[in-house]
Chains A and B, each alone.
Chain A
């Protein structure tokens, strides 16, 4: 070992808190036993220029925190040695040593500590605050009507000196007040304990204070959301017969809100006018913007305004529910319990079970489906259709020993409706696409989003495979669930409500705020086709045509014949909407004539 390698090792020995052991045969054993954190071996060789070069191997474990620390300390120390050796060589050759500093790199971080803190807080604070608000509100809301029903005090209130409107408003304000109070108290306790914990950990907390006006803006933006939650929760509580039922009905709202609030964790999505229209998501994104001090007043106003509009609608619904005897005094029956299902299998199909089923499927899609599609897009899509959407429904019917042919309306349609379906599906697809283009023109969709959508249509597989995955599989599987299974859950509300409810679920299931309206409209048509005709094959055909059309237009966009329909920037010509609308109305009218109302009465 020469003097230079000795110097390197001596230099390493200067690392504080760690000991350098001399080379020994049992080094590997010690390392594997975690008695030592790294092994350094040094060898040397002569370079072509006649210089001695030292090769240093550091064996360490990246998965081990301690081992990683040792590695970085070793590297630091070795860099010093390297510098010393180089200086020595330069001096030997008579070169001035300031050549060592020829490239002087320095970082200037423009983010204030305020913004850095805001960036981190902006990720998780919206999520925490929205969930806090909702949990605070839900406990109170369940108690205020369902709880009063359970304790038989609601009627005492109803016969007292105040009217029902006053009762609803009073309860509504109580929920808002307590939810906001819960939020503020929790925020204080979190900020206090965080500060304490961080200062205990020796971190500098000077930049960690939120300016008062940010806090006020956040709370001001939170207030409309609190009113919206309060109204929705109050109507759920009014609908429920007891506290337990109310808490169960609150679960789907919780889950959906949590998913929407999680959007603040995604770095790519930023606030826009369109995003500001979607409840919960708008608050989450607004928060993020406020935290890094980059929010726009227009976004704040749209957020508050759109939430308030939904709010008014929700309050109106609550008041209506509160004035509906059959809901306020819903009698007890046990149609939802397992015992009742065993007794009468058909009673499995009630709205409550429908919502639970939907929530489970949505969760599976959100976690498992996205994971699959992340692994391999087209295999993931196919798996999602089969294993999340279609199979569970078929299995469930098998377990309940129900006839899936009857339940899912797997009945051959008559010829004439089948002939009419394409004349409804194609114009409908054009109309919906035109609508989407219009929305896009007013509120442009994010680039990232459009890219992902195009990726879907330009998968690296033959066209017929794309057609199977994008058109046929959803046509069959999604229809089995959304036009076969789900309408059975909501039959008691009559055909119209049933179609609207299942279309809403269908749209929500796509987990895509930008396509919500168009998927909802498509869902209305599909639901109508199946329920009106009594055969699910019609909506399967319709769905396949709709998805297939989008695929083919994308695939043949370059061809000459299709240029008539498509403008230069790959958009549908707006004039197409007019003939489409006319054909659609005529086909719809004929369809209505040739199909009888043979739906829920089976």
Chain B
């Protein structure tokens, strides 16, 4: 499971002030659950996920992956986590199976186990035709599938996918969505981000809405519908954003 508590990530700006990419975020994602981190571009989704994957250190606050603290036990966190984002590129000069095997070995998994896992996922994601091809010759969709297999070759209990279907054709996107569902059925904890409301609607058990680094809402779709009185996820999101902007307006007047 994933537990995020009061997470803050700030970056220095050129004028010396600070930019808060993630501002006091708290949420959880349980085993056997698919949680969607929903927000517009630049909301702080990717930064949150990069902190969870130990790429970035949090400025304050903390988070745990499967009970392991991201600051004190980064190695354990990576062992229990499969992470995929737009910034996790592939080695173009390797063949697909070489690439996956290389990353499998970095987790100290035996070669026979790597082969078994690779075959299994190639079947699920319909990749058998291009396992021997060089990565530089693959299409965007094929590459994304390779990335997914790379990220979870060590069969981690927690998976974090940053915009896993962005830029993909419908068939590949569906294939990947189905795969994420199958992970949930096997009891995995999945956190994925998107700015496409329909994808969140279709896939997520729970939606965490993030805007300007702050968490606006956290709950199942039904609960959010009930609270806001809106049915469409687009409207629910707008509702929360307006509410938060209202708050900042009020704050601005107070000063």
Bound pair: A and B?
A: yes
Between A and B, 12 residue pairs with Cβ closer than 8 Å are: A152-B89, A153-B89, A155-B85, A156-B90, A156-B103, A159-B53, A159-B55, A159-B83, A160-B107, A161-B108, A161-B154, A325-B57
A162 touches B106 (CB 8 A): yes
Most chain-B CB neighbours within 10 Å: which of A161, A325, A326?
A161
CB-based nearest B residue for A166: B106
B53, B56, B89: the one within 8 Å of A151 (CB): B89
CB distance from A568 to the nearest CB of B (A): 60
Whether B3 sits at the interface, judged by CB under 8 Å, is: no
At the interface, yes or no: A163 with Cβ under 8 Å from chain B? yes
Number of interface residues of A (CB under 8 A): 14
Contact A156 B89 (CB under 8 A): yes
Q: Give the residues in chain A near B55, CB-CB below 8 Å.
A: 155, 158-159
Alpha-carbon gap, A329 to B50, bound state (A): 12
Stretch at the interface among B32-40, B73-81, B205-213, B247-255: B73-81
Q: Chain B, interface size: which category?
A: 20 to 34
Tell me the complex Cα distance, A158–B81, Å.
12
B12 within 8 A of A: yes
Q: How far is the CA of A160 from the CA of B92 in the complex (A)?
A: 17
Instruction: Indicate whether B150 reaches chain A with its CB closer than 8 angstroms.
Output: yes
Asked if A159 contacts B54 (CB within 8 A), the reply is yes
Beta-carbon contact of A155 and B88 below 8 Å: yes
- Interface digits, A149-190 against B, CB 8 Å rule (1 contact, 0 not)? 001110110111111000000000000000000000000000
Q: In the complex, what distance in Å separates the CA atom of A319 from the CA atom of B154?
A: 27
Could you tell me the distance in whole angstroms from the C-beta of A74 to the nearest C-beta in chain B? 67
B222 at the interface (CB under 8 A from A): no
| Inter-chain contacts of A163 with B (CB < 8 A) | 74-75
* 10 more A-B residue pairs beyond the given contacts A152-B88, A153-B91, A329-B56, with a C-beta to C-beta distance below 8 A: A152-B87, A153-B88, A155-B89, A156-B88, A160-B78, A160-B106, A160-B107, A161-B79, A325-B56, A325-B57
8 Å CB contacts to A: which residues of B144-199? Answer: 150-151, 154
Tell me, rounded to whole Å, the shortest Cβ–Cβ distance linking A148 to chain B: 8
In the docked arrangement, what's the CA distance between A276 and B112, Å?
Answer: 52
- Give Cα distance in the complex from A163 to B107, angstroms: 11
Bound state CA distance, A153 and B91, in angstroms? 7
Q: Which residue of B lies closest to A323 (CB)?
A: B57
> Residues of A contacting B74 with CB < 8 Å?
163
> What distance in Å separates the Cβ of B8 from its nearest Cβ neighbour in chain A?
14
A158 to B89, CA, bound (A): 11
When chains A and B are docked, how far (Å) is the Cα of A329 from the Cα of B107? 24
The answer to whether B107 touches A156 (Cβ under 8 A) is: no
Question: Across the interface, do A161 and B78 meet the contact criterion of CB distance under 8 Å?
Answer: yes
**CA of A163 to CA of B90, assembled, Å:** 19
Q: Which residue of B lies closest to A331 (CB)?
A: B11
Residues of A within 8 A of B87 (CB): 152, 155
A151 CA to B87 CA, complexed, in Å: 9
When the two chains form the complex, which single residue of A159, A325, A329 contacts B88, counting CB atoms closer than 8 Å?
A159
Q: Mark A300-342, 1 if CB is under 8 A from B, else 0.
A: 0000000000000000000000000110010000000000000
B210: min CB distance to chain A, Å: 21
Q: With a CB–CB cut-off of 8 A, which chain A residues contact B53?
A: 158-159
Beyond A152-B87, A153-B89, A153-B90, is A159–B57 a contact (Cβ under 8 Å)? no
Q: How far is the CA of A156 from the CA of B92 in the complex (A)?
A: 13
Pairs A-B, 5 closest by C-beta atoms:
A152-B89, A161-B107, A156-B88, A153-B89, A161-B106
Chain B residues, Cβ within 8 Å of A152? 87-89
Whether A159 pairs with B90 at a CB distance below 8 angstroms is no
A561 to chain B, nearest CB (A): 56
Minimum CB–CB distance for B107 against chain A, Å = 3
Q: Which residues of A contact B90 (CB under 8 A)?
A: 153, 156
Q: Which residue of B lies closest to A163 (CB)?
A: B75
Q: How far, in whole Å, are A158 and B77 apart by their CA atoms in the complex?
A: 12
Alpha-carbon gap, A320 to B53, bound state (A): 20
Contacts of B89 in A (CB 8 A): 151-153, 155-156
Contact of A326 among B12, B81, B91, B107 (CB under 8 A): B12
How far, in whole Å, are A161 and B57 apart by their CA atoms in the complex? 17
CA of A153 to CA of B88 in the docked complex: distance in angstroms?
6
Residues 113-170 of A contacting B (Cβ, < 8 Å): 151-153, 155-156, 158-163
| Cα A155 to Cα B81 with chains together (Å) | 14
Expressed in whole angstroms, the Cα–Cα distance for A162 and B87 within the complex equals 18
Alpha-carbon separation in the docked complex, A290 to B87 (Å):
51
Most chain B beta-carbon contacts within 10 A, residue among A153, A160, A163: A160
Which residues of the partner chain A approach B57 to less than 8 Å between Cβ atoms?
A: 325
Q: Which residues of B contact A160 (CB under 8 A)?
A: 78, 103, 106-107
Distance in angstroms between the alpha carbons of A598 and B61 in the assembled complex = 37
Chain A contacts for B81, CB-based, 8 A = 159
B78 and A159 contacting across the interface, CB-CB below 8 Å: yes
Chain B residue nearest to A167 (CB atoms) is B106
**A155-B49 Cα distance, complex, nearest whole Å:** 12
Complex contact A156–B75 (CB within 8 A) = no
Contact mask A68-95 → B, CB, 8 Å, 1/0?
0000000000000000000000000000
The digit string for A329-367, where 1 denotes a CB below 8 A from any CB of B, is 100000000000000000000000000000000000000
- Please, which residues of chain B bring their CB within 8 A of the CB of A151? 89, 92
Q: Contacts of A155 on B, CB cut-off 8 Å?
A: 50, 55, 85, 87-89
Q: What residues of B have a CB within 8 angstroms of the CB of A159 in the complex?
A: 53-55, 78, 81, 83, 88, 151
Which residue from chain B places its CB closest to the CB of A170 in the assembled complex?
B106
A494 to chain B, nearest CB (A): 13
Query: Chain B contacts of A156 at CB under 8 A?
Result: 88-90, 103, 150
User: Which residue of B has the minimal Cβ distance to A324?
Assistant: B57
CA A75 to CA B12, docked complex, whole Å? 82
Instruction: Give Cα A163–Cα B50 distance, bound, in whole angstroms.
Output: 15
Chain B: CB-nearest residue to A157: B106
- Most A C-beta atoms less than 10 A away, residue of B89, B107, B108: B89
CA distance A159 to B56 in the complex (A): 10
Bound together, the chains give a CA A161 to CA B74 distance in angstroms of 10
Q: B51-87 toward A: CB 8 Å interface, digit per residue (1/0)?
A: 0011111000000000000000011001101010101
Complex Cα gap A159–B92 (Å): 18
CB closest chain-B residue, reference A328: B55
For B83, list chain A residues within 8 Å (CB): 159
